[in-house]
Chain A
Amino acid sequence: MAEFAAEVYQNEFLSEGATDVHAIVTVTCTGAGSAGSAGGGAGGVAEIIMVDTSGSMSGRNIEAAKHAAQVAVDQILDGTWFAIVGGSHVANRAFPYPNARMAMVQMEPGARAEAKRAISMLTPGGGTAMSTWLRLADQLFATVPQATQRHAILLTDGKNESEPRANLSAAVRDVTGHFQCDARGVGSRWQVDELREISTALLGTVDLIADPAEIAADFEKLMRASMARGVASADLRVWAPQGAQVLFVRQVAPTVEDLTNRRAEVNPLTGAYPTGSWGDESRDYHVAVRVASKPVGAEQLAARVQLAVNGEVVSSGLVKAKWSDDESLTTRINPEVAHYTGQTELAAAIQEGLAAKAAGDEATATVKLGRAVQLAQQTGNDEATSRLRKVVDIDNEEQGTVRLKRNTSTLDEMALDTASTKTTRVRR
Chain B
Amino acid sequence: MSDSSSTAPGETVAESSVLACPACGEPSHDGARFCEACGTPLAPLPPAGGDPAPTGDPTSTGDPKSTGDPATGDPASTGDPATDDDPATDDAAATQPATSDPAAPAARPCVRCGGTVAEDGYCTECGEPAASERDHWAERPAAWVAGVCDRGVRHSRNEDAMALAASPSADDERAFAALVVCDGVSSAPDSDVASLAAARAARDVLASGSQEGAAPVTGEPSARIGAWSALVGEASRAAQSAILATVGDMADRENPPSCTFATAVVDGPLVVAGWVGDSRAYWVPDEGEARQLSVDDSWAQEMIAQGVPRAMAETSPQAHAITRWLGPDAPDPVARTAATLPDRDGWVLVCSDGLWNYCSPAADLAGLVRATHERVGGEPQALAGALVDWANAQGGRDNITATLARFVRSAAPAPDGLDPDLETTIPTT
With A304-B120, A318-B120 already in contact, the answer to whether A298 and B126 are too (CB < 8 A) is no
Q: Could you tell me the distance between the alpha carbons of A397 and B63 in the complex, rounded to whole angstroms? A: 45
Comparing A164-172, A215-223, A289-297, A363-371, the segment that makes contact with chain B is A289-297
Comparing B150-158, B327-335, B343-351, the segment that makes contact with chain A is B150-158
Q: Could you tell me the distance between the alpha carbons of A291 and B112 in the complex, rounded to whole angstroms? A: 15
Is A183 an interface residue when CB atoms closer than 8 A count as contact? no
Contact B58 A298 (CB under 8 A): yes
Is B113 an interface residue when CB atoms closer than 8 A count as contact? yes
Q: Could you tell me the distance between the alpha carbons of A330 and B124 in the complex, rounded to whole angstroms? A: 26
Q: Tell me which residues across on chain B come within 8 A of A296, comparing CB atoms.
A: 153-154
Bitwise, B132-164 to A at CB < 8 A (1) or not (0) is: 000000000000000000000111100000000
Q: How far is the CB of B62 from the nearest CB of chain A, in Å? A: 8
Q: Tell me which residues across on chain A come within 8 A of B62, comparing CB atoms.
A: 299
* Chain A interface bracket (under 10, 10 to 19, 20 to 34, 35 or more): 20 to 34
Q: Could you tell me the distance between the alpha carbons of A242 and B59 in the complex, rounded to whole angstroms? A: 16
Task: Report B92-149 residues with CB < 8 Å from chain A CB.
Answer: 113, 118, 120, 122-129
Q: Tell me which residues across on chain A come within 8 A of B120, comparing CB atoms.
A: 301, 304, 316, 318
Q: How far is the CB of B113 from the nearest CB of chain A, in Å? A: 7
Is A33 an interface residue when CB atoms closer than 8 A count as contact? no
Interface residue from A241, A295, A298, A316 paired with B125 (Cβ < 8 Å) = A241
With A294-B59, A295-B59 already in contact, the answer to whether A242 and B122 are too (CB < 8 A) is no
Q: Tell me which residues across on chain A come within 8 A of B113, comparing CB atoms.
A: 242
Q: Tell me which residues across on chain A come within 8 A of B63, comparing CB atoms.
A: 299
Q: Tell me which residues across on chain B come within 8 A of A304, comparing CB atoms.
A: 118, 120, 122
Q: Tell me which residues across on chain B come within 8 A of A269, comparing CB atoms.
A: 124-125
Q: Could you tell me the distance between the alpha carbons of A295 and B122 in the complex, rounded to whole angstroms? A: 18
Q: Could you tell me the distance between the alpha carbons of A265 and B161 in the complex, rounded to whole angstroms? A: 45
Contact A302 B59 (CB under 8 A): no
Contact B155 A242 (CB under 8 A): no
Q: Tell me which residues across on chain A come within 8 A of B153, comparing CB atoms.
A: 295-298
Q: Could you tell me the distance between the alpha carbons of A291 and B120 in the complex, rounded to whole angstroms? A: 19
With A316-B120, A318-B120 already in contact, the answer to whether A297 and B125 are too (CB < 8 A) is no
Q: Could you tell me the distance between the alpha carbons of A316 and B119 in the complex, rounded to whole angstroms? A: 11
Q: Could you tell me the distance between the alpha carbons of A318 and B118 in the complex, rounded to whole angstroms? A: 12
For A324, the closest partner residue in chain B by CB is B156
Task: Report A227-285 residues with CB < 8 Å from chain B CB.
Answer: 239-244, 269
Is A334 an interface residue when CB atoms closer than 8 A count as contact? no
Contact A318 B122 (CB under 8 A): yes
Q: Could you tell me the distance between the alpha carbons of A141 and B358 in the complex, rounded to whole angstroms? A: 72
A-B contact count (CB 8 A): 51
For A267, the closest partner residue in chain B by CB is B124
Contact A300 B127 (CB under 8 A): yes
Q: Tell me which residues across on chain B come within 8 A of A294, comparing CB atoms.
A: 58-59
With A241-B127, A318-B122 already in contact, the answer to whether A297 and B58 are too (CB < 8 A) is no
Determine the main DSSP class of A at the interface with B.
loop
Q: Could you tell me the distance between the alpha carbons of A240 and B123 in the complex, rounded to whole angstroms? A: 11
For A318, the closest partner residue in chain B by CB is B120
Contact B154 A297 (CB under 8 A): yes
Q: Tell me which residues across on chain B come within 8 A of A243, comparing CB atoms.
A: 126
Q: Could you tell me the distance between the alpha carbons of A240 and B58 in the complex, rounded to whole angstroms? A: 17
Q: Tell me which residues across on chain A come within 8 A of B125, comparing CB atoms.
A: 241-242, 269
Interface residue from A240, A244, A291, A298 paired with B59 (Cβ < 8 Å) = A298
For B395, the closest partner residue in chain A by CB is A295
Bitwise, A291-324 to B at CB < 8 A (1) or not (0) is: 1001111111110100000000000101000000
Q: How far is the CB of B135 from the nearest CB of chain A, in Å? A: 11
Q: Tell me which residues across on chain A come within 8 A of B129, comparing CB atoms.
A: 299-301
Q: Could you tell me the distance between the alpha carbons of A301 and B115 in the complex, rounded to whole angstroms? A: 14
Q: Tell me which residues across on chain A come within 8 A of B58, comparing CB atoms.
A: 294, 298
Contact A300 B126 (CB under 8 A): yes
Q: Could you tell me the distance between the alpha carbons of A300 and B22 in the complex, rounded to whole angstroms? A: 14
Contact A300 B128 (CB under 8 A): yes
Q: Tell me which residues across on chain A come within 8 A of B59, comparing CB atoms.
A: 294-295, 297-299
Task: Report B309-363 residues with CB < 8 Å from chain A CB.
Answer: none
With A242-B113, A295-B59 already in contact, the answer to whether A302 and B154 are too (CB < 8 A) is no
Q: How far is the CB of A73 from the nearest CB of chain B, in Å? A: 46
Contact B155 A297 (CB under 8 A): yes
Residue with the highest number of chain B CB atoms closer than 10 Å, among A242, A302, A318: A242
Q: How far is the CB of B400 from the nearest CB of chain A, in Å? A: 13
Task: Report A195-239 residues with CB < 8 Å from chain B CB.
Answer: 239
Bitwise, B51-71 to A at CB < 8 A (1) or not (0) is: 000000011001100000000
Q: Could you tell me the distance between the alpha carbons of A396 and B127 in the complex, rounded to whole angstroms? A: 47
Bitwise, B221-245 to A at CB < 8 A (1) or not (0) is: 0000000000000000000000000
Q: Tell me which residues across on chain A come within 8 A of B155, comparing CB atoms.
A: 297
Q: Could you tell me the distance between the alpha carbons of A318 and B129 in the complex, rounded to whole angstroms? A: 12
Bitwise, B372-387 to A at CB < 8 A (1) or not (0) is: 0000000000000000
Q: Tell me which residues across on chain B come within 8 A of A295, comparing CB atoms.
A: 59, 153
Q: How far is the CB of A15 from the nearest CB of chain B, in Å? A: 15
Contact A241 B126 (CB under 8 A): yes
Q: Tell me which residues across on chain A come within 8 A of B124, comparing CB atoms.
A: 239, 269
Residue with the highest number of chain A CB atoms closer than 10 Å, among B63, B124, B127: B127
Q: Could you tell me the distance between the alpha carbons of A299 and B63 in the complex, rounded to whole angstroms? A: 8
Q: Tell me which residues across on chain B come within 8 A of A244, comparing CB atoms.
A: 127
Q: How far is the CB of A16 from the nearest CB of chain B, in Å? A: 12
Q: Could you tell me the distance between the alpha carbons of A302 and B126 in the complex, rounded to whole angstroms? A: 9
For A239, the closest partner residue in chain B by CB is B124
Q: Could you tell me the distance between the alpha carbons of A390 and B126 in the complex, rounded to whole angstroms? A: 51
Residue with the highest number of chain A CB atoms closer than 10 Å, among B58, B122, B154: B122
Q: Tell me which residues across on chain B come within 8 A of A240, comparing CB atoms.
A: 127
Contact B127 A302 (CB under 8 A): yes
Q: Could you tell me the distance between the alpha carbons of A301 and B119 in the complex, rounded to whole angstroms? A: 13
Q: Could you tell me the distance between the alpha carbons of A339 and B294 in the complex, rounded to whole angstroms? A: 58
Bitwise, A165-188 to B at CB < 8 A (1) or not (0) is: 000000000000000000000000
Residue with the highest number of chain B CB atoms closer than 10 Å, among A240, A291, A298: A298
Q: How far is the CB of A305 from the nearest CB of chain B, in Å? A: 12
Q: Could you tell me the distance between the alpha carbons of A160 and B129 in the complex, rounded to whole angstroms? A: 54
Q: Could you tell me the distance between the alpha carbons of A314 and B71 in the complex, rounded to whole angstroms? A: 34
Q: Tell me which residues across on chain A come within 8 A of B396, comparing CB atoms.
A: 297
For B152, the closest partner residue in chain A by CB is A297
Q: Tell me which residues across on chain A come within 8 A of B154, comparing CB atoms.
A: 296-297
Q: Could you tell me the distance between the alpha carbons of A298 and B63 in the complex, rounded to whole angstroms? A: 10
Q: Could you tell me the distance between the alpha carbons of A298 and B151 in the complex, rounded to whole angstroms? A: 11
Q: Could you tell me the distance between the alpha carbons of A150 and B123 in the complex, rounded to whole angstroms? A: 37
Q: Could you tell me the distance between the alpha carbons of A240 and B153 in the complex, rounded to whole angstroms? A: 23
Q: How far is the CB of B132 from the nearest CB of chain A, in Å? A: 11
Q: Tell me which residues across on chain B come within 8 A of A242, comparing CB atoms.
A: 113, 125-126
Residue with the highest number of chain B CB atoms closer than 10 Å, among A244, A269, A300: A300
Q: What are 13 A-B contacts with C-beta separation under 8 Å?
A: A239-B124, A241-B123, A241-B127, A242-B125, A295-B59, A297-B59, A297-B156, A298-B153, A299-B62, A299-B63, A300-B128, A301-B122, A301-B123
**Closest 10 A/B residue pairs (Cβ):** A301-B127, A241-B127, A298-B59, A301-B122, A300-B127, A297-B154, A241-B126, A297-B153, A242-B126, A242-B125
Chain B residues with CB under 8 Å of chain A are: 58-59, 62-63, 113, 118, 120, 122-129, 153-156, 396
Known: A241-B123, A298-B59, A301-B128. 15 other contacts (CB 8 A): A242-B113, A242-B125, A244-B127, A269-B124, A296-B153, A296-B154, A297-B153, A297-B155, A297-B396, A298-B58, A300-B129, A301-B122, A304-B122, A318-B120, A318-B122
